[in-house]
Structure 1
Amino acid sequence: MAKRFENKTIIVTGGASGIGAACAHLLAKEGANVVVADLNQKHADKTVAEISQAGGNAAAFAVDVGDPKAVESMVQFAIDRFGGLYGAVNNAGIGGPALPIGDYEIEDWHKVLNVDLHSVFYCMKYELAAMEKFGGGSIVNMSSILGTNGFSTAPAYVASKHAVIGMTKSAALEYSKRGIRINAVGPGFIRTPLLDENMEQDDIDALAELHPVGRLGKPEEVAALTAFLLAEESSFVTGSYHLVDGAYSAQ
């Protein structure tokens, strides 16, 4: 059976852990040349080693997605290493402090917006130019259920994720006739190592109960939808926002 991404190069930012790592593993399994781009070089190297051991093809690239020059270098690395660029999963992000707006530090506000919003613009700016040069492709921007819902004590994160959806729609309109599709994915609360490391079990259980299905999502479930949106089988899907949230947003 033919693999969906045979010999196609795809960048995954935040690709060393959680949702990003799940995407990187699945895309490589489906034949992609994956650039695992992450702030943490050691973790990116580990993910690449795991992909290689499973028979996939990947390369690590250390990047601060909040730095446009570094993002430009990331895209050039993908082209130099694998000879082109077909797709991207713009997934890197941070949560920020849990505080109401009146107590939120201005420095923290700018930091979250830079990583969660501005970086998506930087990534698309350079990815789109490369994809157009190499004949088109597909981008998935990782938003959140908080891209359409509010959440107390997360003003910068919520604002960023709302804006990512709007930017995705605008970009899709601009590039639809240039052979490039752009969509956004909105995960619910996902069980990742970062969640386990930073939250007590009682708090994790409380998060799970916010979802009508009664559990947290799995990174692999987000990766499955992301791969579909990147693949040719979704060729009529662009400019849209897709939930993986256990009915959280249906309430």
Structure 2
Amino acid sequence: MSSPIDLSTLFSLEGRVALVTGAGSGIGSYIAHAFALAGAARVYITGRRLEALQKTATFHKAIIPIQGDVSSKAGCSALVKAFEDAERAHGISGQIRLDILVNNAGVMTNDGTWDKDGASADEISQALLKLSDDEWAKGFAINVSSIQWMSASFLPHLARAAAEGGKAQGRGNIINNTSISALYVSRDAQGHLYSATKAAAESLTQNLASKYTKLGVRVNSIAVGNIPSEINDLNNPKSFISMLKDIIPIGRPGNEEDIAGVVIYLASRAGSFVSGAMLKIEGGILIGV
């Protein structure tokens, strides 16, 4: 008996156009690599550091750097125009489509720290008051507000991809990197600002999914943890991954392939019936602590 399942196309991104924010290094660069290898026609990567973007782009000819800043609404609008100009430069005429938007850009600003076993109320108070109003605002602008601004700014392009024969193939979708910090609460975890922004990003993902899915635009999140990256460095003893690496239930830190498998699933025909989901990529740490 023949099967309707065609594995050669189920996970393929052949011919698709993607845009990944914060892709100069770490998880964003892993996602760009994965999309290019899965057959995407063009993978636009954005970030503030042009040199880092250019380095990521050397991995595959489909990866195209666009320097930009998602920390403001104006910056996100500028990225839309830069994307449209780049698509026209590649011979795309008429209305522009975007198959995949990945909101990955993020910043981690550390709160003050304290001795988890012996700090006084005054010491904890001072640590939690360390960051300024501007630092809190910047954290929320990049980790939360940029998701709203990018998702809204690119919605017409995403809806067009879904409407023009793309719904059944999973075209026109958003993936937000919200981090397991959205869910992880422990007396040992002292990054209150980062955790708060990621929890807000997860809430925003659900709200966007509730509005966009009827337009054919799926919205999902990946809650990543224990994957080495620029802001989660195994060589930094105070990083999240360094503190948890010895108690990860699956017995190892994650890697680039662990990210690739999940994002390709969500972005392809394989994940075309999935919207409003949060997929945890964290080695089981949330069920093992």
TM-score of the two chains, using structure 2 as the length reference? 0.79
Partner of 2:258: 221
Equivalent position to 1:120, from 128, 131, 147: 147
Displacement after TM superposition at 1:44 (Å): 0.5
Tell me: CA distance 1:121–1:204, structure 2 relative to 1, closer, same or farther (3 Å).
closer
What per-residue deviation string (whole Å, max 9, x for no partner) do you get for residues 176-220 of structure 1? 111110001001121125544861499864330242223322133
Aligned partner of 2:35 in structure 1 is 27
**1:4 has 2:23 as partner:** no
Please give the alpha-carbon distance, in whole angstroms, between the structure 1 residues aligned to 2:228 and 2:283: 13
**Are 1:85 and 2:76 counterparts?**
no
Moved more, 196-205 or 37-46: 196-205
Find 1:44's aligned residue among 53, 67, 82: 53
SS of the residue corresponding to residue 50 of structure 1 reads coil
Shift of 1:120: 1.1
* CA–CA separation in structure 2 for the residues paired with 1:233 and 1:217: 22
Give, in angstroms, the shift of residue 78 of structure 1: 2.5
Give the match for residue 146 of structure 1.
181
Contact kept in structure 1, 2:234 and 2:241, CA below 8 Å: no
Aligned partner of 2:21 in structure 1 is 13
The CA distance in 2 between the partners of 1:193 and 1:44, in whole Å, is 14
Partner of 2:111: 98
More helix, by proportion: 1
Aligned residue pairs total 247
Q: Is the 8 A contact 1:189 1:216 kept in 2?
A: yes
Which runs of 5 or more structure 2 residues have no equivalent in the other structure?
1-7, 113-126, 164-171
Q: Matches of 2:266 and 2:220 in 1, distance apart?
A: 7
Q: CA RMSD in A?
A: 2.2
Match of 1:103, SS state, is coil
How many percent of aligned residue pairs carry the same amino acid? 26
- Post-superposition offset of 1:221: 1.0
CA contact (8 A) 1:71 1:122 kept: yes
Provide the TM-score with structure 1 as the length reference.
0.90
Q: Is the 8 A contact 2:12 2:39 kept in 1?
A: yes
Query: Counterparts of 2:69 and 2:250 in 1: how far apart (Å)?
Result: 36
1:133 has 2:160 as partner? yes
Query: 2-side partners of 1:193 and 1:135: how far apart?
Result: 34
Runs of 4+ residues over 3 Å off in structure 1: 133-136, 193-198, 200-206
Change in CA separation of 1:98 and 1:6 when aligned onto 2, cut-off 3 Å: same
> Does the C-alpha gap of structure 1 residues 227 and 140 become closer, same or farther in structure 2, counting only changes over 3 Å?
same
Residue range with higher mean Cα deviation, 59-68 or 99-108: 99-108
Q: Indicate the SS of the match to 1:36.
A: strand
- Residue 196 of structure 2: which of 133, 148, 159 is its match? 159
